[in-house]
Amino acid sequence: MSNFNESSNLTQTLLVSDQNAPMKAFLLVTPCVIFLYVNGVMLFTLRKKTVFQETCRYILFGHMLWVDTLNLIMSVVLFMCAISRILIMKNVCLVLLMAATVLYHVSNLNLALMSLERYVAICIPLRHAEITDFERTHIAFGVVLIMGLIKSLSELIIFYAIDSTNIAMNLFCSRTTLFRLQIYKKLDIAFMCIFFLLVCFVIIFSYTSIAVVAKTASCDKMSAKKANKTVLLHLIQLGLGASSILVGVIQEAIYVYTDYMTSMNVMYFCFIVFIIFPKCLSPLIYGMRDQAFSSLFKYYFTFGKGKVKVKPVIIEQNV
């Protein structure tokens, strides 16, 4: 289940009848706006150097930034619609949910591509430039995008072909209100399991392979160590993304065992911890680990007025 899917279910009732709603909205929207600015500066930095636009790992990093930025924007928009009690047209809601589902799956699958790139850099260094060239990188991302579209297209076909439960023209935009048939839940679970297991397998395979190669005398120990840390970070990112599943479990539990206001506060906390912050922090952590990128990012982040000087960009294939 995607972050947007859970956020749509949460925000439908989140902060309603809560006297602290304005303060909670401010505390939630403010960090989102800050990190949207951070992501924007990162994307701007990637456009300033040709080497960033032609190197596989920076291309994939740029894809991750775009996907996470769009996810953040959708979450904030949905949040504001929920606290404002805005009803959305059924077809518009369908488009939003489909787009969000694609973004979520593409985000996870992109982690697999980034891990494979590190695997090739360390385990097949002589063919790294050939395998991860500009054209092949974009073809790989195109395949990932198509894979991410499969679930949304399946839901679209079901929605217009056999779903007769949607009569209202305007509604709160969430999977709960729009997708009422049991088949939607089964599709959700099936695709979630398939993609999660696939990405887990790729990341663990990459991590294990790099660890094995790191023990050989011919391997650059420092580069292999950095690559393994990067792959491990991807696994943590995947875990943070999958943690949104916990939101549904927690939501069911608090409705049964707590009062209304307590449940609203817990849902607000879960929304921030499991949905918003993972998408905010992952690009920042990953970007700051790269010396060539981080030096330029700090320069542009301070509008060129900071103490950090722009250093020559040196790309090491095995880092």
pLDDT digits (tens, 9 = 90+) for 126-182: 888 888 888 899 999 999 999 989 988 998 898 888 877 766 667 777 777 788 888
Which runs of consecutive H residues, i.e. helices, occur in the chain? 3-13, 21-48, 50-54, 56-83, 90-123, 128-131, 134-161, 175-178, 182-214, 221-242, 244-257, 260-270, 277-288, 291-301
| Residue 294: closest CA among 4, 2, 46, 8 | 46
Domain ranges of the chain: 3-301
Q: pLDDT tens digit string along 4-16? A: 455 555 544 444 4
Instruction: Give percent above pLDDT 90 in the chain.
Output: 5
Question: What does the pLDDT read at residue 15?
Answer: 44
CATH code of the region 3-301: 1.20.1070.10
Residue 306 pLDDT > 60: no
pLDDT for residue 260: 64
Mean pLDDT of the region 16-31: 68
Element at 89 (helix H, strand E): strand 88-89
**More confident site: 306 or 253:** 253
Residues, the chain, total? Answer: 319
Q: What is the pLDDT, as a whole number, of residue 7?
A: 52
pLDDT tens for each residue of 231-290: 777 777 777 766 666 665 666 666 666 766 676 677 777 777 777 777 777 777 777 777
What is the end-to-end Cα distance of the chain in Å, rounded? 33
Mean pLDDT of the region 66-82 = 79
Most confident of 103-117, 213-227, 248-262, 269-283: 103-117
DSSP single-letter state for residue 88: E
What confidence score (pLDDT) does residue 129 get? Answer: 87
pLDDT in the model for residue 318: 41
